[in-house]
Amino acid sequence: LAKIKPHPRWASFSPDMEANTRWRHEIIRQLRTAFQANLLQVWYQPQVHLQTNEVSGVEALLRWPGEVGFIQSPSVFIPLAEYSGLIVEMGDWVLDEACRAYQELQHLPNAPKRVAVNISMPQFRTGTLSKSVNQSLLKYKLAPNVLELEITESIAMDEPEIVRSCLSALRTIGVDISIDDFGTGYSSLGQLHALPIDSLKIDKSFVDDIDEEKSGLYVELIIGLAQRLGLSTVAEGVETKTQAHRLKELGCTIAQGYYYAKPMPLHELKRWLEARANAI
Ligand code: C2E
Ligand code: MG
Ligand code: MG
Ligand code: MG
């Protein structure tokens, strides 16, 4: 429970802890019902290679349509799904859904090379994550290297033994691993070195202020570190042309953000890819 960051608005919802707990359980109940009724969706956000301008991949992001207000935000309902354990089942579903979507995308002109899926700590603890990954890859006849799993820097460092052995198993299968929100956690270089990873995702907060001396320096350092370790870099939350230019200049590999496209349902993504293929 301590790991759940209270949303700023939870506090104003009720100052009473008990009411707050009841409220959380109510949201979890609603989320479970929505999941079982097959009402959740997976949306996709393009990732663009900065040198070639190709769509290198898409990130799968869970959506709870129909919900209103801040509950709709994955940053609010994902922590509740993690707390309740529901994320294990939901996460398997997202993984399978993303593989199914990729099977549809792979033959389009301008097809992305991979699909990235976010993974939470409880999914590592089950010990069956690599089995789920294998099952979905087999089901849709996908090569393992089309799948990339994103784990946040903080969970990667939380229970390093569990995470490391699980990542090694996944690496053996051949899926790529990236560290999400890099720069916001507390990795030591030694721990980072011990993880079998392929790329670092530079957190949006650094990209936001890339024009400021300090953030710019951090972005430069992260890219330099990644290059020295043989890892690629993905910048998150790129919203302006200026940011994209600066990132390219600094040698960042891939950019993702509203400047290119917002997350969208699969049918919209297909149209987006098509329009882009025609424009080139
Ligand atoms: P994340 O994995 O770091 O995903 C990036 C978030 O940044 C997404 O928010 C995306 O919509 C948003 N974003 C991308 N580009 C921009 C931009 O240019 N500007 C702004 N302001 N935002 C941008 P989203 O979809 O709300 O997801 C929030 C977080 O929830 C994700 O952060 C991830 O940690 C978690 N999440 C989402 N889907 C899943 C899932 O299927 N499984 C798990 N375990 N976590 C998920
Ligand atoms: Mg992510
Ligand atoms: Mg991220
Ligand atoms: Mg982030």
Name the helix (H) or strand (E) containing 122: helix 121-125
Name, in order, each residue with C-beta under 8 angstroms of 32's C-beta and a sequence gap of 6 or more.
84, 86
Q: Using a 6 Å cutoff on CB, does residue 203 contact ligand 1?
A: no
Average pLDDT, the chain: 91
CA–CA separation, 116 and 44 (whole Å): 9
Helix (H, G, I), strand (E, B) or coil at 2: coil
Which pLDDT band, with edges at 50, 70 and 90, does 2 fall under? very low
Convert the pLDDT of each residue in 142-182 to its tens digit. 999 999 999 998 888 888 888 999 999 999 999 999 999 99
Q: What is the ipTM of this complex?
A: 0.98
Please give the average per-residue pLDDT across 113-117, as a whole number.
98
What is the CA(170)–ligand 3 centre distance, in A? Answer: 20
What is the CA(181)–ligand 4 centre distance, in A? Answer: 5
pLDDT in the model for residue 186: 73
Which ligand is nearest the CA of 5, by number?
Answer: 1
Looking at the DSSP assignment, which residues form a beta bridge with residue 201? 234
Residue 1 has pLDDT above 50, yes or no: no
